[in-house]
A and B are shown apart, each in its own frame.
Chain A
Amino acid sequence: MSAQIKDPSRSSYYVDGDFYRTLIERFGDWQDDERIVNDHIARDMFRSLLEREARLLDQHRYEDWLRMFTPECVYWAPGRPDGGDPRTEIAVIFDDRRRLEDRVFRLRTGYAWSQAPRSRTVRLVTNVEVFSTADANRRMVRANFLISEFWDDETRRLSGWCGYNLQHAVDGWLIQAKQINLIDCDQCIRNPSILL
């Protein structure tokens, strides 16, 4: 297979059975007190990364935000508070690299009526905890979020916590997986069309 065909922005070969199994395993039982990284410099570095991510989204800098992810990434908002199994259950969102780029493309078309006019958001990211893994180049990070979103006469709050699987790459840490756990993920939500 040529590199062109395997470009994850163009085609989706990496979302296979092993990918799902690894993802479920990594997000199964990772918040282990024994693995908390207490080094404040390391924690601060990851905190900065998440704060930058929040700012890029608030500023609608979606293309820059996409560059924070690895090429073979996943952006996942489960439909159940316990995460569930994306192979047998609908998720609120389950995007691979290409669909995440679709999501940004759609918002840029000018015809996404759910975002015309677009929402204004302010995101708070707190309670950042970093967990080591067996792989020195991989970290799991947990952070709580509160998104204040103004759209169509209403300011509403979306809240929950995110789990990140971060991978160390040549130019720093990249998001390989972002799991967005909305506290009301199994409830009806009005206009869920912003990037989370």
Chain B
Amino acid sequence: MSGFETREAQKPGRTTSAYDWDFLVQDDRVHRSIYADPEIFAAEMTHIFGKTWVYIAHESEVAKPNDFVTRKLGLRPVIVVRDSDGRLRVLYNRCTHRGTTLCRQERGSARNFQCPYHGWNFGNNGKLRGVPWPDGYTQDIRDERFNLAQVPRVQSYRGFIFATLNMDAPDLLNWLGPITRPIDEWLDRNPGGKIVVCEANRFKYKGNWKLAYDNSSDGYHVIYSHRSLIETENRMTAEPNKGMAYYKNSPDSLAMYVQYMGNGHHFKDKRPNLQPRQGGLWALESLHPGMEYYESEFRSRYGERADSLLDLAGSEPVNINIFPNLSLLGNHIQVFEPVSVNETNAVWYGTRIEDVNGDIGDALEGINALRMRTQEGFPNFGEVDDLANFEQIQRGLDCLEDEWIYMNRGYGLPDRIKHNADGTISGPATDEVFMREYIKEWKRLMSGPAHLTIQREP
């Protein structure tokens, strides 16, 4: 890899061979300890959030040289920066002198990062530029061991930046595999295939991070966990037809489906429920601030184009879940951040569009204003109820002797699951097949070795 010469392999300090992984993860159920054991969580921080690709930021957040955001890779504080030469880097946010957190801002623009403790000063490529009174050292302070540690592999897919400490992980594109198709479709409905991150609805809950990842393609919980949302969205309609009301009767008989996409990724596709026409997405939207004004304005001003413009404000009914921590849903980029075995942050970054091709013109302000309001709906009226349920799962896990969590919906029923030519596996909307499959990948990663590597500029 150009620009890097040193590699420091982490000692395999934590071995996971003491666990009987085949006992903990079975075909149709998993043991409570995978959500509740602090030692397993600690191992996940190397074997998952280290050994596999992890989503770390979106390129629109670090659009220009010197732009940075501070994030975590698992529990490691990092600075995601576009360095002065325009290269994306993920620097450990840790002064090499005494380990102090170097940058305490959440975002900004900086050519250098200076440690507030003793004043060591690093360029945004991670190289140590200078220290106060260097003549006080016998060693050459320019030795590369004093340059910031950084994540050796940083790759983007269409704006989504991923990082891994595993030199043997497959190339990002290969690792994403078939899930690139829904990602492409999710992006390509926006002008120029682009979106810009714009603030977030931010939650934390007292539960394990996998409870959110398990839930992200779960079509079984919708009608009950989100009952208050669905009743609210349809309070003015005689026959419920807004939002996720299509789950109401027999969801498994509909054309929507869940799909396991390989490498831990899974996908829930509710687009088959849409009317197949321009405006079909908009027709499903429940009631949002400004909706009637902008709709009537667009119809009178833009005629037939109004439907496609309104669709840009509508929430795409998909859940594209990229293991272990990214979920694209509606127009959101949701990120799961593990905090401890029983604490997780769930950040719902909003997205807006830009007039990339110059054909949106005056409609842009209205589309984005509507798009902000449609995005605020679910986090406010839906997510809060899921999070309350996740917390109560975590509490239930304290029942030590009642050991099993089931993922068995659809398991063993003939003809329910389809194995597709591209290696993906699909099932009806409420099937838990995606959970059974992704947790096998989790088991594979957890049970094998983790050889992690950091690098420093020479």
Contacts and interface: CB of A to CB of B under 8 A. Distances in A.
Interface of A: 10-17, 19-20, 74, 79-80, 84, 86-96, 98-99, 102-103, 105-107, 109-114, 116, 152, 186-193
- Sort A-B residue pairs by CB-CB distance and give the 3 closest, nearest first: A90-B350, A15-B290, A96-B289
B60 interface: no
Contacts of A90: 198-201, 348-350, 372, 375-376
Interface in B388-429: 388-389, 391
A113 B205 contact: no
B381 interface: yes
22 contacts: A11-B292, A15-B293, A79-B200, A79-B202, A88-B369, A89-B199, A90-B201, A90-B350, A99-B287, A99-B289, A102-B233, A105-B235, A109-B232, A113-B225, A113-B385, A113-B388, A114-B384, A188-B203, A188-B347, A190-B204, A190-B205, A190-B387
Given A17-B366, A88-B372, A90-B372, A109 B384 contact: no
B289 A89 contact: no
A87 B365 contact: yes
Given A15-B289, A15-B290, A86-B369, 5 more contacts: A17-B366, A86-B372, A90-B199, A106-B231, A190-B203
Interface in B365-388: 365-366, 368-369, 372-373, 375-376, 380-381, 384-385, 387-388
Contacts of A105: 231-232, 235
A4 to B, nearest CB: 13
A17 B292 contact: no
Given A102-B232, A114-B387, A189 B203 contact: yes
B381 A12 contact: no
A189 B352 contact: no
A95 B380 CA distance: 10
A187 B204 CA distance: 9
A10 B388 CA distance: 30
Contacts of A89: 198-199, 350, 352, 372
Contacts of B294: 16
A111 B198 contact: no
Categorize the interface residue count of chain B.
35 or more
A95 B391 CA distance: 27
Interface string B196-238: 0011111111100000000000000000010111011101100
B393 to A, nearest CB: 12
A74 B373 CA distance: 13
Contact of A17 (B200, B201, B365, B376): B365
A20 B289 CA distance: 11
A187 B372 contact: no
A113 B228 contact: yes
Given A109-B231, A114-B387, A94 B287 contact: no
Given A87-B368, A98-B287, A191-B387, A111 B231 contact: yes
Contacts of A86: 369, 372
Nearest to A109: B228
B199 A84 contact: yes
B345 interface: yes
A109 B389 CA distance: 17
A126 B89 CA distance: 46
B291 interface: yes
Contacts of A192: 203, 384
B202 A186 contact: yes
Nearest to A98: B287
A173 B347 CA distance: 38
Nearest to B106: A186
B297 interface: yes
B288 interface: yes
B227 A12 contact: no
A31 to B, nearest CB: 23
B200 A12 contact: no
Contacts of A74: 289
Contacts of A96: 289-290
A86 to B, nearest CB: 6
A150 to B, nearest CB: 15
A12 B204 contact: no
A111 B369 contact: no
A103 B379 CA distance: 12
A161 B178 CA distance: 48
Contacts of A11: 291-292
Contact of B201 (A14, A79, A95, A106): A79
A196 B116 CA distance: 37
